[in-house]
Amino acid sequence: MMRRAVPIQLKNHQDWFTCLKLPGEIYAIREEKHWQNVTSFLICGSHRAILFDTGLGIRDIKKVAEELYDGQITVINSHCHFDHIGNNWRFDKVVVFDDEHAMHTAAAGVPCQMIADQAAEEAFSGGYPEGFSPKDLFCRPYSVSAAQDGDFFNLGDRRLEYIHTPGHSSDCIMLYDRSMGILLAGDMIYHGALYAMFDDTLYGRSDLGQYIDSIQKVAGMCPEIRAIYASHNDCIVEPAMLQKMADDMSGIRQGKAEGITVEREQYGFKKGQLKQYIFDGYSVVCRR
Protein backbone atom coordinates (compact mmCIF):
# COMPACT_ATOMS: atom_id res chain seq x y z
CA MET A 1 0.00 0.00 0.00
CA MET A 2 1.30 3.46 -0.88
CA ARG A 3 2.02 5.93 1.91
CA ARG A 4 0.08 9.13 2.47
CA ALA A 5 1.05 12.55 1.19
CA VAL A 6 3.16 14.60 3.60
CA PRO A 7 3.02 18.44 3.72
CA ILE A 8 6.40 20.12 3.17
CA GLN A 9 7.26 23.56 4.55
CA LEU A 10 8.96 25.51 1.77
CA LYS A 11 11.68 28.11 2.28
CA ASN A 12 11.08 29.83 -1.07
CA HIS A 13 7.83 31.56 -2.12
CA GLN A 14 5.73 30.01 0.61
CA ASP A 15 3.36 32.96 0.15
CA TRP A 16 2.26 31.38 -3.14
CA PHE A 17 3.20 27.70 -3.36
CA THR A 18 2.24 24.83 -1.10
CA CYS A 19 3.97 21.46 -1.36
CA LEU A 20 3.19 17.82 -0.69
CA LYS A 21 5.64 14.93 -0.76
CA LEU A 22 3.76 12.12 -2.48
CA PRO A 23 4.44 8.40 -2.48
CA GLY A 24 7.08 7.53 -5.06
CA GLU A 25 9.58 10.35 -4.31
CA ILE A 26 7.42 12.93 -6.04
CA TYR A 27 6.71 16.46 -4.86
CA ALA A 28 3.45 18.20 -5.74
CA ILE A 29 4.08 21.95 -6.03
CA ARG A 30 0.65 23.54 -5.80
CA GLU A 31 -0.79 26.96 -6.70
CA GLU A 32 -4.06 26.82 -4.78
CA LYS A 33 -4.56 30.59 -4.50
CA HIS A 34 -5.57 30.91 -8.17
CA TRP A 35 -8.80 29.46 -9.51
CA GLN A 36 -6.87 27.21 -11.91
CA ASN A 37 -5.61 25.36 -8.80
CA VAL A 38 -2.75 23.93 -10.86
CA THR A 39 -0.09 21.49 -9.64
CA SER A 40 3.40 20.88 -11.05
CA PHE A 41 5.27 17.70 -10.10
CA LEU A 42 8.93 17.08 -9.30
CA ILE A 43 9.77 13.41 -9.90
CA CYS A 44 13.07 12.60 -8.23
CA GLY A 45 15.59 10.00 -9.35
CA SER A 46 19.12 9.05 -8.33
CA HIS A 47 20.73 10.88 -11.30
CA ARG A 48 18.25 13.63 -12.16
CA ALA A 49 14.72 14.86 -11.57
CA ILE A 50 11.88 15.69 -13.94
CA LEU A 51 9.79 18.82 -13.33
CA PHE A 52 6.43 18.09 -14.94
CA ASP A 53 5.21 21.60 -15.86
CA THR A 54 6.22 24.98 -14.43
CA GLY A 55 2.92 26.53 -13.39
CA LEU A 56 1.47 30.00 -13.85
CA GLY A 57 4.73 31.92 -13.53
CA ILE A 58 3.48 34.18 -10.74
CA ARG A 59 6.36 33.05 -8.53
CA ASP A 60 9.70 31.36 -9.41
CA ILE A 61 9.10 27.60 -9.38
CA LYS A 62 12.74 26.93 -10.32
CA LYS A 63 13.87 28.09 -6.87
CA VAL A 64 11.36 25.75 -5.27
CA ALA A 65 12.44 22.78 -7.40
CA GLU A 66 16.11 23.44 -6.60
CA GLU A 67 15.24 23.65 -2.91
CA LEU A 68 13.66 20.19 -3.10
CA TYR A 69 16.24 18.47 -5.34
CA ASP A 70 20.01 18.94 -5.41
CA GLY A 71 20.92 17.90 -8.93
CA GLN A 72 20.00 18.14 -12.61
CA ILE A 73 16.37 19.05 -13.29
CA THR A 74 14.74 18.53 -16.70
CA VAL A 75 11.40 20.16 -17.50
CA ILE A 76 8.76 18.21 -19.41
CA ASN A 77 5.47 19.91 -20.27
CA SER A 78 2.21 18.03 -20.04
CA HIS A 79 0.96 20.46 -22.74
CA CYS A 80 1.48 24.10 -23.66
CA HIS A 81 -1.46 25.86 -21.99
CA PHE A 82 -0.50 29.04 -20.14
CA ASP A 83 -1.07 27.67 -16.62
CA HIS A 84 1.57 24.96 -17.18
CA ILE A 85 4.36 26.91 -18.90
CA GLY A 86 4.69 30.16 -16.94
CA ASN A 87 8.21 29.46 -15.66
CA ASN A 88 9.50 27.60 -18.74
CA TRP A 89 11.72 30.54 -19.73
CA ARG A 90 13.78 30.12 -16.55
CA PHE A 91 15.13 26.77 -17.81
CA ASP A 92 17.65 26.24 -20.61
CA LYS A 93 15.37 23.89 -22.53
CA VAL A 94 11.94 22.32 -22.08
CA VAL A 95 10.78 18.98 -23.47
CA VAL A 96 7.52 19.25 -25.43
CA PHE A 97 5.63 16.93 -27.73
CA ASP A 98 6.58 17.42 -31.38
CA ASP A 99 3.45 19.37 -32.28
CA GLU A 100 2.82 22.51 -34.34
CA HIS A 101 0.81 24.32 -31.66
CA ALA A 102 3.38 23.49 -28.96
CA MET A 103 6.21 24.81 -31.13
CA HIS A 104 4.29 27.99 -31.96
CA THR A 105 3.54 28.69 -28.28
CA ALA A 106 7.19 28.16 -27.34
CA ALA A 107 8.36 30.62 -30.00
CA ALA A 108 5.69 33.26 -29.42
CA GLY A 109 4.90 32.97 -25.72
CA VAL A 110 1.52 34.07 -24.40
CA PRO A 111 0.95 37.84 -24.06
CA CYS A 112 -0.96 39.17 -21.06
CA GLN A 113 -3.80 40.41 -23.29
CA MET A 114 -4.68 36.83 -24.28
CA ILE A 115 -5.18 35.72 -20.67
CA ALA A 116 -6.45 38.94 -19.09
CA ASP A 117 -9.47 37.14 -17.59
CA GLN A 118 -7.09 34.87 -15.67
CA ALA A 119 -5.43 37.93 -14.09
CA ALA A 120 -8.68 39.41 -12.75
CA GLU A 121 -8.63 39.88 -8.99
CA GLU A 122 -11.54 37.48 -8.52
CA ALA A 123 -9.32 34.71 -9.95
CA PHE A 124 -7.19 34.90 -6.79
CA SER A 125 -8.35 33.75 -3.38
CA GLY A 126 -7.54 36.49 -0.89
CA GLY A 127 -6.72 39.00 -3.62
CA TYR A 128 -3.49 39.52 -5.53
CA PRO A 129 -0.22 38.24 -4.04
CA GLU A 130 2.19 40.94 -2.87
CA GLY A 131 3.84 42.81 -5.74
CA PHE A 132 1.63 41.29 -8.45
CA SER A 133 -0.29 43.28 -11.06
CA PRO A 134 -2.43 41.90 -13.92
CA LYS A 135 0.20 42.75 -16.54
CA ASP A 136 2.56 40.29 -14.80
CA LEU A 137 0.57 37.25 -15.92
CA PHE A 138 2.04 36.26 -19.27
CA CYS A 139 4.36 33.60 -20.68
CA ARG A 140 7.71 34.45 -22.22
CA PRO A 141 9.07 32.47 -25.20
CA TYR A 142 11.22 29.48 -24.29
CA SER A 143 13.59 26.97 -25.91
CA VAL A 144 12.40 23.42 -26.51
CA SER A 145 13.46 19.95 -27.50
CA ALA A 146 10.90 17.64 -29.08
CA ALA A 147 9.84 14.23 -27.78
CA GLN A 148 7.77 11.49 -29.37
CA ASP A 149 5.18 9.01 -28.17
CA GLY A 150 6.96 6.02 -26.62
CA ASP A 151 10.14 7.84 -25.59
CA PHE A 152 11.70 7.04 -22.21
CA PHE A 153 13.37 9.37 -19.71
CA ASN A 154 15.99 7.74 -17.50
CA LEU A 155 16.32 9.24 -14.01
CA GLY A 156 18.90 6.72 -12.79
CA ASP A 157 17.01 4.37 -10.52
CA ARG A 158 13.73 4.79 -12.40
CA ARG A 159 12.49 5.69 -15.86
CA LEU A 160 9.38 7.40 -17.16
CA GLU A 161 7.41 6.45 -20.25
CA TYR A 162 6.26 9.37 -22.40
CA ILE A 163 2.72 8.77 -23.68
CA HIS A 164 1.05 11.04 -26.23
CA THR A 165 -2.58 11.55 -25.19
CA PRO A 166 -4.27 14.14 -27.44
CA GLY A 167 -7.81 15.27 -26.68
CA HIS A 168 -7.68 18.21 -24.27
CA SER A 169 -5.09 19.63 -26.67
CA SER A 170 -3.14 18.13 -29.54
CA ASP A 171 0.15 18.05 -27.58
CA CYS A 172 -1.09 16.52 -24.31
CA ILE A 173 1.07 13.80 -22.80
CA MET A 174 1.17 11.65 -19.67
CA LEU A 175 4.18 10.19 -17.88
CA TYR A 176 4.13 6.65 -16.50
CA ASP A 177 6.51 5.05 -14.02
CA ARG A 178 5.76 1.40 -14.71
CA SER A 179 7.98 0.06 -11.92
CA MET A 180 6.00 2.00 -9.30
CA GLY A 181 2.64 2.02 -11.07
CA ILE A 182 2.43 5.84 -10.97
CA LEU A 183 0.66 7.78 -13.74
CA LEU A 184 1.12 11.54 -14.06
CA ALA A 185 -1.99 12.47 -16.00
CA GLY A 186 -1.62 16.19 -16.73
CA ASP A 187 -4.95 17.75 -17.72
CA MET A 188 -6.47 14.56 -19.07
CA ILE A 189 -7.66 13.10 -15.74
CA TYR A 190 -8.78 15.00 -12.64
CA HIS A 191 -11.84 15.63 -10.49
CA GLY A 192 -13.84 18.46 -12.05
CA ALA A 193 -14.71 19.63 -15.54
CA LEU A 194 -12.50 18.13 -18.26
CA TYR A 195 -12.30 20.30 -21.36
CA ALA A 196 -12.48 18.93 -24.91
CA MET A 197 -13.87 21.93 -26.77
CA PHE A 198 -11.00 24.31 -27.61
CA ASP A 199 -10.20 25.51 -31.11
CA ASP A 200 -8.20 28.74 -31.05
CA THR A 201 -4.71 30.22 -31.02
CA LEU A 202 -4.37 30.23 -27.23
CA TYR A 203 -5.48 26.71 -26.38
CA GLY A 204 -4.99 24.93 -29.70
CA ARG A 205 -7.49 22.31 -30.81
CA SER A 206 -9.30 19.80 -28.64
CA ASP A 207 -10.94 16.68 -30.01
CA LEU A 208 -13.47 14.59 -28.10
CA GLY A 209 -12.84 11.49 -30.22
CA GLN A 210 -9.10 11.72 -29.59
CA TYR A 211 -9.78 12.27 -25.87
CA ILE A 212 -11.76 9.04 -25.71
CA ASP A 213 -9.08 7.19 -27.70
CA SER A 214 -6.33 8.47 -25.39
CA ILE A 215 -8.09 7.43 -22.18
CA GLN A 216 -8.82 3.97 -23.57
CA LYS A 217 -5.23 3.68 -24.84
CA VAL A 218 -3.75 4.45 -21.41
CA ALA A 219 -6.21 2.17 -19.63
CA GLY A 220 -5.10 -0.66 -21.91
CA MET A 221 -1.34 -0.10 -21.64
CA CYS A 222 -1.21 0.68 -17.89
CA PRO A 223 -3.27 -2.05 -16.20
CA GLU A 224 -1.39 -2.04 -12.86
CA ILE A 225 -1.68 1.61 -11.82
CA ARG A 226 -1.30 2.20 -8.10
CA ALA A 227 -1.55 6.00 -8.13
CA ILE A 228 -2.71 8.78 -10.46
CA TYR A 229 -1.41 12.30 -9.93
CA ALA A 230 -3.48 15.05 -11.55
CA SER A 231 -2.55 18.61 -12.51
CA HIS A 232 -5.72 20.38 -11.29
CA ASN A 233 -7.84 20.37 -8.14
CA ASP A 234 -7.11 17.31 -5.95
CA CYS A 235 -3.67 16.20 -7.09
CA ILE A 236 -4.22 12.58 -5.99
CA VAL A 237 -6.85 10.66 -7.93
CA GLU A 238 -7.98 7.13 -7.15
CA PRO A 239 -6.51 4.61 -9.66
CA ALA A 240 -9.95 3.22 -10.48
CA MET A 241 -10.90 6.52 -12.12
CA LEU A 242 -8.92 5.67 -15.27
CA GLN A 243 -10.97 2.59 -16.09
CA LYS A 244 -14.15 4.36 -15.02
CA MET A 245 -13.41 7.14 -17.50
CA ALA A 246 -12.69 4.60 -20.23
CA ASP A 247 -16.07 2.97 -19.58
CA ASP A 248 -17.95 6.27 -19.30
CA MET A 249 -16.41 7.61 -22.49
CA SER A 250 -17.37 4.44 -24.34
CA GLY A 251 -20.92 5.45 -23.44
CA ILE A 252 -20.40 8.86 -25.06
CA ARG A 253 -19.05 7.26 -28.23
CA GLN A 254 -21.90 4.75 -28.39
CA GLY A 255 -24.53 7.43 -27.83
CA LYS A 256 -25.60 5.95 -24.48
CA ALA A 257 -24.54 8.97 -22.40
CA GLU A 258 -26.71 12.08 -22.47
CA GLY A 259 -25.12 15.52 -22.43
CA ILE A 260 -26.74 18.75 -21.31
CA THR A 261 -26.42 22.15 -22.98
CA VAL A 262 -24.16 24.58 -21.12
CA GLU A 263 -26.32 27.64 -20.50
CA ARG A 264 -23.51 30.12 -19.80
CA GLU A 265 -20.55 31.69 -21.52
CA GLN A 266 -17.29 29.82 -20.95
CA TYR A 267 -13.76 30.20 -22.38
CA GLY A 268 -15.02 32.44 -25.18
CA PHE A 269 -17.92 30.15 -26.12
CA LYS A 270 -21.40 31.64 -26.10
CA LYS A 271 -24.38 30.29 -24.21
CA GLY A 272 -25.65 27.11 -25.85
CA GLN A 273 -22.49 26.33 -27.86
CA LEU A 274 -21.16 23.67 -25.47
CA LYS A 275 -22.39 20.33 -24.19
CA GLN A 276 -21.47 18.76 -20.84
CA TYR A 277 -21.53 15.07 -19.96
CA ILE A 278 -21.78 14.70 -16.19
CA PHE A 279 -20.38 11.61 -14.46
CA ASP A 280 -19.60 10.68 -10.87
CA GLY A 281 -16.62 12.82 -9.81
CA TYR A 282 -16.01 14.61 -13.11
CA SER A 283 -17.59 15.88 -16.31
CA VAL A 284 -16.58 16.28 -19.96
CA VAL A 285 -17.25 19.56 -21.80
CA CYS A 286 -17.22 19.58 -25.60
CA ARG A 287 -18.59 21.52 -28.57
CA ARG A 288 -22.19 20.82 -29.56
What is the rounded CA–CA span in Å between residue 93 and residue 49? 14
Amino acid 195: pLDDT: 97
Asked if residue 144 lies in contact with residue 106, where contact means CB atoms within 8 angstroms, the answer is yes
Query: Hey, CA dihedral for 216, 217, 223, 224, is it positive or negative?
Result: negative
pLDDT for the residue 50: 98
Question: Domain map of the chain by residue range?
Answer: 6-148+158-192+201-255
Cα–Cα distance between 132 and 25 in angstroms, integer?
A: 32
pLDDT tens column, 61-76: 999 999 999 999 999 9
* Confidence at residue 1, expressed as pLDDT on a 0 to 100 scale: 41
Q: Please report the pLDDT score of residue 4 as a whole number.
A: 85
Is the pLDDT score of 2 beyond 70?
A: no
CATH number for the domain whose boundaries are 6-148+158-192+201-255 = 3.60.15.10
Asked whether residue 38 carries a pLDDT value surpassing 50, the answer given is yes
Q: What pLDDT score was predicted for residue 72?
A: 98
Q: Assign residue 178 a region (left: φ > 0; alpha: ψ between -120 and 50; beta: otherwise).
A: alpha
What confidence tens digit (pLDDT) does each residue in 136-180 have? 999 999 999 999 999 999 999 999 999 999 999 999 999 999 999
Exposed, middle or buried by CB within 10 Å (0-12, 13-18, 19+), for 6?
A: exposed
Give the mean pLDDT of 247-265.
94
Q: 160 to each of 8, 40, 135, 154, 156, how far by Cα in Å?
A: 24, 16, 37, 7, 10
